[in-house]
Amino acid sequence: MQTCGDKMKRYLILLPLAALAACAQGEAAEGKDPCAAISTIVAARGEDEPFTSLRGEQRMLGDSPLPDAWESSETFKDSACRVSVMRGFFGGETNIHIYICDLFEAGTLDKDADGELAKAAYEGAVSDAKACLGDAWTSETNTESGQYEVYSKTVFKPVEPEEQVGEFIADPLYLEMHYAGFGGGRNSTPGWLVTLQAQKQTKAE
């Protein structure tokens, strides 16, 4: 029969083991290579039908499948990512293929504290993207917006110009952080949002 002392000894032995397990899990998550994910995204962007290899399960609205919309089989920093196609833009001549990940999301309950987390997620992702894309891509950051209280967007473009399809040029890859209060931010849910988005235009068939 176990005494109270025996139970306490067992607890003290298991506690550090649990802490070590949690630490190992944290190290494993931190050890994931963001450059491998960036490389996969860039490669998929160059496919004949961009991002086809990243498509997972089709997204649903209730019991109905959403057209040209999929959950992604590839994540960035363990975030929820999606693939979609907007077809028939500019007089039906252009399709825009999109890969997007929500890196951080929070409401308005604690604007300052959540803002620090959003900033860390955004700046960390920008730093990773710059390091992974290297000299083959340029970057430019804009912090001006009449739509959001807080805003920052870093756009990455290949140094070698790509063939233009259509009159409008979609940003090839960008990271964006914004905060919208109640009543602010057109078509936006109030709160913080940090996203990574890659896009590619193709000629509509």
- pLDDT above 70 coverage of the chain, percent: 81
Q: What is the pLDDT of residue 19?
A: 36
- pLDDT above 90 coverage of the chain, percent: 64
Torsion angle of C-alpha atoms 121, 137, 34, 180, degrees rounded to 10: 20
- 105: tokens are 């999301």
Residue 178: burial class (beta carbons within 10 Å; 0-12, 13-18, 19+): buried
Q: Find tokens 């929500």 and name the residue.
A: 102
In the chain, the amino acid numbered 17 is L
| Rounded mean pLDDT, 23-42 | 69
For 58-72, 74-88, 150-164, 181-195, which range has the lowest pLDDT when averaged over its residues?
A: 181-195
Distance CA(75)–CA(87), nearest Å, equals 24
Q: What is the pLDDT of residue 98?
A: 98
Q: What residues form DSSP beta bridges with 141?
A: 154
Q: Is the Cα dihedral 50, 52, 53, 55 positive or negative?
A: positive
Q: What is the pLDDT of residue 9?
A: 36
Check residue 164 and report its DSSP letter: P
Three-state SS letters, 63-91: CEEEEEEEEECCCCCCCEEEEEEEEEHHH
